[in-house]
Amino acid sequence: MSISQAMMSGVSGLMANSKAVSRISYNIANSDTTGYKRSFANMLTSGASVPSGMIEASGVQVSVAHENTKDGTVLATGNSTNLAISGGGFFAVTRNANDGTTEPAHYMTRAGDFEPDADGYLRNAAGYYLAGFPFDENGSLGVIDRNQFSGLETVKISGTSVTGNPTTLMTLQGNLPSQESGLATPGDPYVTSIEYFTALGAAERIEFEWQPSSNNNEWTLSISDTAGNSYGTLDATFNDSGALAGSPLGYANATSTATAPAAFAFDAATGIATLTIDNGTAPQVIEVELGAPNTFDGLTQFAGDYVPLVGNANGTQSGSLARAEITEDGTVWGIFDNGMRRELYSIPLATVPNPNGLLTADNNIFALSQSSGSFTLATAGQGMAGEITGGAIESSNVDIAEELTELIQKQRAFSSNAKIITTADEMLDETVRLKR
CATH of the domain at 185: 2.60.98
What is the residue-level pLDDT of the chain in tens, covering all 436 positions?
577 777 888 788 888 888 888 889 988 998 888 989 898 888 887 766 555 555 566 788 888 888 888 999 999 998 989 999 999 999 999 998 887 555 557 899 999 999 999 999 999 999 999 999 999 878 888 888 898 888 899 999 887 777 778 999 999 988 999 999 999 999 999 999 999 999 888 889 999 999 999 999 999 999 999 888 999 999 999 999 999 999 999 999 999 999 999 999 999 999 999 999 999 899 999 999 999 999 999 999 999 877 778 888 998 888 888 888 999 999 999 888 877 888 999 999 999 999 999 988 888 899 998 999 999 999 999 989 999 999 999 999 999 999 899 899 988 988 888 888 888 888 888 787 876 6
Q: State the total domains in the chain.
A: 3
- Please indicate, yes or no, whether residues 268 and 382 belong to a single structural domain of this protein: no
- Please indicate, yes or no, whether residues 299 and 182 belong to a single structural domain of this protein: yes
- Please indicate, yes or no, whether residues 122 and 204 belong to a single structural domain of this protein: no
- Please indicate, yes or no, whether residues 223 and 264 belong to a single structural domain of this protein: yes
- Please indicate, yes or no, whether residues 154 and 216 belong to a single structural domain of this protein: no
Q: Tell me which H or E stretch contains 123.
A: strand 122-123
- For residue 58, which amino acid is it? S
- Residue where a domain stops, chosen among 313, 332, 367: 313
Q: Tell me which H or E stretch contains 75.
A: strand 74-76
Question: Which of 98, 105, 112 has its CA nearest to residue 153?
Answer: 98
pLDDT for 139 equals 83
Q: Tell me which H or E stretch contains 419.
A: helix 400-433
Question: Which of 306, 310, 347, 340 has its CA nearest to residue 326?
Answer: 347
pLDDT for 111 equals 94
- Please indicate, yes or no, whether residues 340 and 377 belong to a single structural domain of this protein: yes
pLDDT for 142 equals 87
- Residue where a domain stops, chosen among 313, 347, 374: 313
- Please indicate, yes or no, whether residues 253 and 300 belong to a single structural domain of this protein: yes
- Please indicate, yes or no, whether residues 31 and 117 belong to a single structural domain of this protein: no
Residue 396 backbone phi and psi in degrees, to 5? -60, 150
- Please indicate, yes or no, whether residues 28 and 124 belong to a single structural domain of this protein: no
CA–CA distance, 19 with 41 (Å, rounded to integer):
7
CA–CA distance, 78 with 392 (Å, rounded to integer):
7
Q: Which domain holds residue 25?
A: 3-67+398-433
- Please indicate, yes or no, whether residues 305 and 347 belong to a single structural domain of this protein: no
Sign of CA dihedral 56, 61, 66, 67: positive
0.85 exceeded by pTM: no
- Residue where a domain stops, chosen among 295, 313, 331: 313
pLDDT for 56 equals 60
- Please indicate, yes or no, whether residues 305 and 289 belong to a single structural domain of this protein: yes
- Please indicate, yes or no, whether residues 299 and 190 belong to a single structural domain of this protein: yes
Name every residue whose Cβ is closer than 8 Å to that of residue 379 and which is 6 or more positions away in sequence.
329, 330, 346, 348, 349, 385
